[in-house]
Structure 1
Amino acid sequence: METIYCLCPKTYWESFAGRDQYVPRDYDQEGFIHATKGDELLCRVANRVYADFTGELCVLVVAEDQVSATVKYEMAKDGLRYPHIYGPLNIDAILDVRRMEKREGSWTIGPSIR
């Protein structure tokens, strides 16, 4: 089973408790859900996108083959291909929710919070 990751501020994620689908705050503007694949790339993206973020950050661990919406791998500005989810993310495709921890100024993957 292939997994992909979606980063999310913890308080925003908690607002989806009891719902069947998740959409990020920028979904209407972007038209898809940003995701990444692989631990190293996840941390690199977290350090770039959330460099100055001081709140609690979590990562949704998603079973790619269980996502109801279309997942397309597309080239980004950094020259790498990322999975983009074109539609709301069905909650039952989320295998785990893990804390992201900032150590010495860099984000790393922490323990499960689910």
Structure 2
Amino acid sequence: MFKDRLIQLRKNKKLTQEQMAEKIGIHRGTYANYERGHRQPDYDTLLKIADFFEVTVDYLLRGEEHYKELASEINKRPDTRYAAIDGHDFEDEEKDEILVNALKQIDGLEKIIKEHLEKKSNERNK
């Protein structure tokens, strides 16, 4: 759940709710309600949280299991192929891990594209 991932990410950074709220520019009570599951952040706040923790919005909302389920579905398709590198064939677990990581990176493209467009815009405005 979103609230559980939010708590874990904050604790991994060793931050209090007050510090976290300050970092993303909201009131502590609002942030506390996110962690309790009583409120959901708006889109802009969700982006700030994802950017702060350097994760995707998709990860915040769906978690790691989403990627694993999607990878499993893709790997079941007969047209899914893995090229052997240096003669190394991949075990099924390796295939799942490779695909999960690739799916996470694809989700991260949104952030990369946004940063590129902002940089380009800033350069034009100089």
Report the TM-score range of the alignment, normalised by the length of the smaller protein. under 0.3
Higher helix share: 2
Q: Say which one has the larger Rg.
A: 2
TM-score, scaled relative to structure 2: 0.23
TM-score, scaled relative to structure 1: 0.24
